[in-house]
Amino acid sequence: MCGSCCGPYFSLYVEEPDEERWVREGRQDLLDRLEWERNHVRWDQTGPYDVETGARFESCVYRVNLPDGRVICGIHETKPKICLDYPPGSSELCAIYRERKAGPG
């Protein structure tokens, strides 16, 4: 629940089965956001940005920072499959991975 894996932008990893599931679930909110991102977000060498405003995106829009420092997914019950299947510690995005690679202090 550190949120390190929530850094990548939402629309980047959504696949067709996710969209189909959201249609079945009536999650028009997610489908609308996905459509907006596909039309308004572009990437450059420093990451994703809004083409209309130039605003930068630092993490998934559904990442929720709790007062106690933990991070949760605001759409956990139906998040994209890649997020559901993400094994903590399996990539450089994850603090656990970086700690393991660094070894004992």
What CA–CA distance (Å, rounded) separates 10 from 79? 9
Q: Can you give 30-56 as a three-state secondary structure string? A: HHHHHHHHHHHEEEECCEEEECCCCCE
Question: Residue 1 has what DSSP assignment?
Answer: -
Q: What percent of the chain has pLDDT over 90?
A: 40
For the segment 24-55, what is each residue's pLDDT rounded down to a tens digit? Answer: 999 999 999 999 989 999 888 888 899 999 99
Of 52, 22, 23, 24, give the one whose Cα is nearest residue 36.
52
Task: With a cut of 70, say whether residue 74 has pLDDT above it.
Answer: yes
Q: How confident is the model at residue 105 (pLDDT cuts 50, 70, 90)?
A: low
Burial of 71 (0-12, 13-18, 19+ CB in 10 A): middle
- Phi and psi (nearest 5°) for 26? 70, 30
What CA–CA distance (Å, rounded) separates 100 from 94? 10
Burial of 60 (0-12, 13-18, 19+ CB in 10 A): buried
- The pLDDT assigned to 48 comes to 86
Task: With a cut of 90, say whether residue 91 has pLDDT above it.
Answer: no
